[in-house]
């Protein structure tokens, strides 16, 4: 029988984050602590599509290089993990009867999915499937996570990939070691306290309750994958394990593990 795996919310970063030795070391250590997944299901901040859309399971489909203005080497990254074809049927079976589901055979993993996976599972030998966020509504995403929860008992690692703060338009210094701006520090401290308290209602109402808004999330897609991971946990109100903290480019990279 497959070992039950957690759900993760991790701050994935832009492609250059793979050059940050601290983050790479933290993420590698985290992966070593986890039981080896049978397969991986990723929900990334970089794919919003309604209805829920299931990505390609073919390694012949190129990665989705959904970023601009970076050095050429980042566009040459490959991650030829097997497509989790068996997982497609399980995901569809867990969704409400009659709910529309779309398939996009031309869309493979985006950088919110493959960047952390190149660090966590560099051999690319675990099947991976990416699905879209069909909405950014927190309660609907919680419900989606609840539907997907049984997959954890089948050896599926569920990853919500975003960033705890993502106020790119408001960064004065975009260097990797920049001093984090006040809004990033304030939101991150609130997130840490709210996670520790298991206050799901506050997390859902972050736009009104969290300090540092709207600068921490001028758009909310990087916070939204959290709610799928929360919904997939056994008890969303239980305090998660806060595995990674600190900042990169002034943005909070707090990442959590939910059981």
Q: Where are the domains of the chain?
A: 7-258
Tokens 């990033």, residue located? 184
The whole-angstrom separation of Cα 182 and Cα 120 is 31
CATH superfamily of 7-258: LigB-like (3.40.830.10)
**What would the mean pLDDT of 5-16 be, rounded to a whole number?**
91
Answering whether pTM is above 0.85, one says yes
Q: Omega into 16 within 30° of 0, i.e. cis?
A: no
1-5, 50-54, 136-140, 246-250: the lowest-pLDDT one: 1-5
Whole-number pLDDT of residue 118: 97
Q: Is the pLDDT of residue 1 over 80?
A: no
DSSP 61-89: SPPB----S--GGGGG----PPB-HHHHH
Determine contact, residues 240/233, Cβ cutoff 8 Å: yes
Question: What span, in angstroms and rounded, lies between the C-alpha atoms of 198 and 237?
Answer: 4
pLDDT at 157 over 80: yes
pLDDT at 174 (0 to 100)? 87
CA torsion angle for 123, 127, 128, 129 (degrees, to 10)? 170
Q: Cα–Cα distance between 176 and 174 in angstroms, integer?
A: 6
Separation CA 148–CA 230 (nearest Å): 11
- So what's the pLDDT on residue 130? 98
Digit-coded pLDDT (tens) for 174-213: 899 999 999 999 999 999 999 999 999 999 999 999 999 9
Q: Are 31 and 60 in contact (CB under 8 A)?
A: no
DSSP β-ladder status, 128-133 and 102-103: unpaired
């Amino acid at each position: 029988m497959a070992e039950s795996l957690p759900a993760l919310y991790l701050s994935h970063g832009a492609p250059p984050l793979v050059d940050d030795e601290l983050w790479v070391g933290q993420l590698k250590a985290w992966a070593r602590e986890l039981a080896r997944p049978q397969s991986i299901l990723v929900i990334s901040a970089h794919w919003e599509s309604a209805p829920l859309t299931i990505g390609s399971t073919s390694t012949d489909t190129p990665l989705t290089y959904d970023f601009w203005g970076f050095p050429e080497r980042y566009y040459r990254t490959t991650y030829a993990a097997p497509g989790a074809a068996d997982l497609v049927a399980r995901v569809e079976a867990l969704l409400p009867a009659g709910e529309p589901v779309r398939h996009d055979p031309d869309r493979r993993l985006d950088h919110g999915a493959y960047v952390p996976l190149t660090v966590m599972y560099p051999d690319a030998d675990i099947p991976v499937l990416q699905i879209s966020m069909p909405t950014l509504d927190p309660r609907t995403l919680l419900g989606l996570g609840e539907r997907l929860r049984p997959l954890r008992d089948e050896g599926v690692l569920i990853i919500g990939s975003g960033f705890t703060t993502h106020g790119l338009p408001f960064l004065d210094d975009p260097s990797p070691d920049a001093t984090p701006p006040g809004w990033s520090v304030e939101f991150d401290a609130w997130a840490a306290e709210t996670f520790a308290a298991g206050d799901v209602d506050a997390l859902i109402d972050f736009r009104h309750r969290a300090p540092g808004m709207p600068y921490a999330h001028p758009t909310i897609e990087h916070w939204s994958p959290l709610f799928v991971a929360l919904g997939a946990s056994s008890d969303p109100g239980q305090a998660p394990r806060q595995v990674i903290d600190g900042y990169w480019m002034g943005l909070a990279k707090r990442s959590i593990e939910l059981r």
